[in-house]
A and B are shown apart, each in its own frame.
Chain A
Amino acid sequence: MNRLSGIFWSLLFLAVPVLGVATFAIAPAIDVWLPKDVSEHGPAIDGLFYFILALTGVVFIATEVLLFWFLWKYDAANGDRPATYIHGSHTLEVVWTIIPAATLLFLAIYQMNTWADVKMRRPAMAPSVEVVARQFEWRLRYPGRDGTLGTPDDLFLVNDLHVPVDEDFLVQLKSMDVLHSFFLPNLRIKQDAVPGMKIRVWFKATETGQFDIVCAELCGWGHYKMKGRVTVESREDFDQWLESQYARQNATQPEADPSTAVARTE
């Protein structure tokens, strides 16, 4: 093994941290970073993500640079100094166990509050909508004018979730057949829909716009296209939309103009 081979392999190993850091650095610029966040708890979740990224990033760079340095400096072509055999270092082992353990313990406690906010501290309100996941669509049921789910004035829709902005929104999530996962990337919400369970999901959207609902648990051949749309809009627009859906659902006469028969929602 000549010196050239040693240089080649050291540089190859150095390429790993260099390219690794480079991809993370350019990702936001080429739009392959976190999706746009429009939820109230989103900054807390993203903040945790960045914290862990920074921590692991520093450790990653440090260990990889060290690896490169040892490959470069102690290449056999540089000298004939034989290796020293040691029986291990108890101090070193204690240090490199305690520090990661303490870090993990810190992370576990640091994130508890955010987890509780998102998954445990349910707002005291009636469900705003019941989402029933089904192969391969999201069936929605709004409680209607009387505010109670399961009454004759409920509003039935498919895949088209509307949410009023800046208001607490409580979803009652069920599944009609198999496991699905209710994933709203832009609202930092992900919850498995488990058959037989009625699971509550809540959030507060802070910006208007149209965003995706995608299924995040493999549910069959149509899982890849089990997409819905969530529209965040002002309270007035939301009420107006509800009224128009009521009128549509309770129609006793066909539309005068057939071109308005179905909502053009794109």
Chain B
Amino acid sequence: MPHASMMRSAMHRHPVTIIAILGLCLLATGCGQTPPAYFRPNMVEATKQRLTPDQEKQVATVLLAMFGTPDEPVCMPETGLDEAKLRLAAGPVRSDIVGRKNGLYREHCAHCHGVTGDALGPTAAFLNPYPRDYRPGVFKFKSTERADKPTHTDLVRLLHNGVPGTSMPSFALLPSAQVEALAEYVKYLSIRGETELTLMRAFFELDDEAQGKLPETREFLVDETLTPIAEKWKAAADAQIQVPPMPADIDLVASIAKGKELFYGDKANCVKCHGVTGLGDGQANDYDDWNKAIVEIGKEISSGSAKARETSTSGMSPDELSEHRAQLAWIEKFGRVLDGDALEPRTIPPRNLRHGIYRGGRRPLDLYYRIHAGINGAPMPAAKGTVPPEEIWHIVNYIRSLPYELDGELGADKPMLAKDRF
């Protein structure tokens, strides 16, 4: 093997040179450090509101002062959050001076929910359903009325159970102090996200005197913007849905039969979405709020760009021309923002009730909450007002029997012909 022996003799004759070259290659790879984590601005909203770069910078500066950074959170007393818990959850993974683990959010949550809580973490695009974006302040599975925030217990319970049927895992084995810290940090990210949205939308309301700048007064930023958001979170604990007790001696068979009537009836009209077989095949083209926002922006962009292409620029005044060009630039910018800062929108299929997998929890109580208040952010409507509470319990009992309905009636081993299903 002439090549091998050539190399060996070369190494014998010029060992220093060879080592020097290898050493140089090693150094050339560099000794970099990871840049510190930063909060990503809500570019979709900023572009939707047609903010100028100066306006975007003002929002970022204000948020920095009010909420800090992912490594150093600022906890204003108006938020009602516990600063010690935030410190436990924030920052990179490390041990603090008493040996407790810090950086819990970065370790457990950030890779899906993102450092900013915007559901744009590295793994988010691969998940179905997408992880929750906290910034609009909308949460699906809770014990409060539809438009209210979840209680602290709701968040802790969700972390404890996970969300079955999705990629959200159960954190039941984490010490409760860590779960509490994570729930607090989720609230922090949600309050921050909602504050950012409110500030960005406030530019539209400014009068000409403000010259496109938000007032940087305590009155505007804290009393008028932050406090109403934080108050909604604080009010959640007292806004739990009052659930009438299910009678202990309830005749389950009769209740299930009544529930079936209601399921197929016009009052609750469950079959419209969940399908006449409960398989979730009633309809398939609706979106949840997070995806709907992106779909509508997409429609606006495509109709706007179609119109812009059809508009002939001949005969336009200089003002009209610059406006036309600005519109084209905005459409192009929005396209780029959607590429980088938004996930591909997906429809939300109605739940297949035959699986026995309930995302928000499988207790009869959880199902009662879902039917009574609907699901905030999703097309599931609230039955409150149309269906009286005792009847909601009948529907709950029917739903709980659905995964087992085939056992006995049709026989689990006998396939059902498609034509016999309806």
Contact = CB atoms under 8 A, between A and B. Distances in A.
Interface of A: 135-137, 139, 150-152, 156, 158-160, 221-222, 227-229, 248-254, 258, 261-266
B159 to A, nearest CB: 8
Interface in B370-422: 393, 400-401, 403-404, 407
Contacts of A262: 156-157, 160-161, 172, 176, 179
Contacts of A137: 162, 169-170
B243 A229 contact: no
Given A252-B364, A252-B365, A261-B157, A158 B404 contact: no
B153 interface: yes
A262 B368 CA distance: 19
A93 B173 CA distance: 57
Q: Which 4 A-B pairs have the closest CB atoms?
A: A262-B160, A158-B170, A258-B153, A252-B246
Contact of A249 (B176, B179, B362): B362
Of A221, A229, A265, which is in contact with the most chain B CB atoms at under 10 Å from its CB?
Answer: A265
B240 interface: yes
Contacts of B153: 258, 261
B169 A229 contact: no
Nearest to A226: B169
Given A254-B143, A254-B240, A265-B172, A249 B363 contact: yes
Nearest to A135: B167
A250 B362 CA distance: 8
Contact of A159 (B170, B364, B403): B170
Interface string B242-279: 01011000000000000000000000000000000000
Interface in B140-187: 143, 151-153, 156-157, 160-162, 164, 167, 169-170, 172-176, 179
B364 A251 contact: yes
A173 to B, nearest CB: 19
Contacts of B407: 150
B365 A253 contact: yes
B61 interface: no
A183 to B, nearest CB: 16
Given A158-B162, A252-B243, A261 B156 contact: yes
Contacts of B152: 258
B161 A254 contact: no
B327 interface: no
A229 B173 contact: yes
A258 B153 CA distance: 6
Given A159-B170, A252-B368, A258-B153, A221 B362 contact: no
B173 A250 contact: no
Contacts of B174: 266
B52 interface: no
Nearest to B162: A158
B367 to A, nearest CB: 10
B123 interface: yes
Nearest to B152: A258
18 contacts: A135-B167, A137-B170, A139-B164, A150-B404, A152-B400, A152-B404, A158-B172, A159-B170, A229-B173, A251-B365, A252-B245, A252-B246, A252-B363, A253-B243, A254-B243, A254-B365, A258-B153, A262-B157
Q: Provide the main secondary structure of the chain A interface.
A: loop
Contacts of A150: 404, 407
Nearest to B400: A152
Given A137-B162, A265-B173, A250 B363 contact: yes
Nearest to B252: A152
B63 to A, nearest CB: 31
Given A137-B169, A262-B161, 7 more contacts: A135-B167, A136-B169, A227-B173, A252-B245, A258-B152, A262-B172, A266-B174
A150 B240 CA distance: 33
Nearest to A136: B169
A159 B156 contact: no
A250 B172 contact: no
Contacts of B123: 221
Given A159-B173, A261-B157, A151 B404 contact: yes
B172 to A, nearest CB: 6
Contacts of B179: 262
A258 B151 contact: yes
Nearest to B404: A152
Contacts of A249: 362-363
B66 to A, nearest CB: 29
Interface string B45-87: 0000000000000000000000000000000000000000000
B191 to A, nearest CB: 20
A261 B179 CA distance: 13
Contacts of A221: 123
Nearest to B151: A258
B72 to A, nearest CB: 27
Contacts of A248: 363
Interface in B190-243: 237, 240, 243
Contacts of A222: 169
A151 to B, nearest CB: 7
Contacts of A253: 243, 245, 365
Nearest to A156: B362
Contacts of A264: 176
A222 B112 CA distance: 12
A152 B393 CA distance: 17
Of B169, B174, B175, B368, which is in contact with the most chain A CB atoms at under 10 Å from its CB?
Answer: B169
Contacts of A252: 243, 245-246, 363-365, 368, 393
Contacts of B151: 258
Contact of B176 (A135, A136, A139, A266): A266
A195 B170 CA distance: 22
Contacts of A160: 172-173
A229 B364 CA distance: 27
A258 B156 CA distance: 10
A30 to B, nearest CB: 21
Given A136-B169, A264-B176, A158 B365 contact: no
